[in-house]
Amino acid sequence: MAELSNLKGNILFVVDNVEESEGVDRYLREFTGLNIDLLLTSRSNLEGFEKLEIEELAKENCIELFKKYSQPDCNQEYVEKIVELAGYHPLTVELLSRTARVARKDLEEFYQLLKEKGFNLSDVIKKRINTSRHRDYDKRELFQHLRKVFDISNLGIEEKVVLLNLSILPSTPLKISNLEEWLKLENTDVIDDLIAKGWLKEIYNKDTSDYYVVIHNVIQEIVREEQELEFSKAENLVKAIEALLYSSPNENPLEKKEYVNFGVSILEYCRQENKDLANLSNNLGQIYKAIGKLDLALEYAEQAKNIYREVLQGEKHPDLADSYNHISIIYQDLGKLDLALKYAKQAKDIYRSIAG
């Protein structure tokens, strides 16, 4: 907020996919005192904001969108039937079109398959229009139908693992070469396949000549619900971001800021007790301390300490000692010297125990 308040000129701040909650409402109210324009996108009814309702994509536009990604000379009758089943929902229309094309399915056969699976997003959309005072609909029902598309797609194991990794990162453009490195992929074939099937969007940056991909936040939620997040499936990603957030004594932690949101997102969804996650949390705490956000620094330092204690099961280990020492320094910066001394003593005891 402090950084936003210092910006000059005409500022438009966009917050995408806001969900209604007491915490979010209090957060948004903080923007009202700033000299900026705030644009929110949401399926929820947010009190106190001027509303502009956006209609669904028109039928003819949905048909055009479907044909863009479908097989040449596709059956017009079944294109219309499929986009109607999709409730004229653009993301779903594109997914269905790409899925049918990659599977090389005749559209009549594909339409029958959707009916057999019980897919009918149109009914969900109609229910929203007919019964919801604020034009909001049950997200759970939307997800249930989109999960059927996930099932119909017959994604391979490696494709599902890549999607699972992307589902625990922010929904922002990611350089394909970085993903290839972080996930230790042999090549980018699996990413290319996911782009072709519509689960990822490809973006080309003309200025840098780099290719990026982005995953829709709705797809992220579906993937997280469809797949159990086993740490082994995300281990390469966690270790990569952990390394990117690590600052050696000769490095400036501020140079690591661009990866902070990656670490925060991973820790939000990875709840396992694992040393790599403890290291990641510890590195986040170090960066937040460096940029002066001591409350967040303490939160992640405490989280790291708790994971270390759980993983080490009473073992006197340097990582746990370093964690106590880190917390001590944060409390010292906060002016809570009694707590700083308490953690400093705990760190010292472990160091002495290790030294013998």
Extents of the domains making up the chain: 2-40, 59-152, 157-226, 231-355
- In contact, 36 and 8? CB cutoff 8 Å: no
pLDDT of residue 238: 97
Q: How many residues does the chain have?
A: 356
- The pLDDT of 176-205, averaged and rounded, is 96
Q: Given a cut of 80, is residue 347 above it in pLDDT?
A: yes
Looking at residue 129, its pLDDT comes to 42
User: 170-174, 293-297, 311-315, 335-339: which has the minimum mean pLDDT?
Assistant: 311-315
Topology agreement, domain 157-226 and domain 231-355: no
Q: What is the pLDDT of residue 131?
A: 38
pLDDT above 70: residue 43: no
- CA geometry: angle 276, 281, 283, nearest 5 deg: 95
Class of domain 157-226: mainly alpha
3-class DSSP state of 12: strand
Crossing angle for the helix pair 139-152 and 90-102, to the nearest 10 degrees: 10
- Distance between CA atoms of 324 and 187, rounded to whole angstroms? 41
Alpha helices (runs of H) in the chain, residue ranges in sequence order:
2-5, 22-29, 59-69, 76-85, 90-102, 107-116, 121-131, 139-152, 157-167, 176-182, 189-196, 217-226, 231-245, 260-269, 275-290, 294-312, 318-333, 337-355
**Model pLDDT, residue 104:** 87
Query: What's the pLDDT score for residue 310?
Result: 93
Q: Which residues pair with 39 in a beta bridge?
A: 14
Under the banding of pLDDT at 50, 70 and 90, the label for residue 128 is low
Q: Which CATH class is domain 231-355?
A: mainly alpha
Average of per-residue pLDDT across 105-120: 93
Q: What are residue 213's DSSP bridge partners?
A: 174, 202
User: 214 pairs with which residues across the strands?
Assistant: 201
The enclosing H or E element of 162 equals helix 157-167
> 52: pLDDT confidence band, cut at 50, 70 and 90?
confident
Residue 147 pLDDT: 87
Closest CA to 18 of 6, 31, 27: 27
Q: Please report the pLDDT score of residue 272 as a whole number.
A: 87
Distance in Å from the first CA to the final CA of the chain: 49
What are the beta bridge partners of residue 14? 39
Q: Over the stretch 232-251, which tens digit does the pLDDT of each residue have?
A: 999 999 999 999 999 888 88
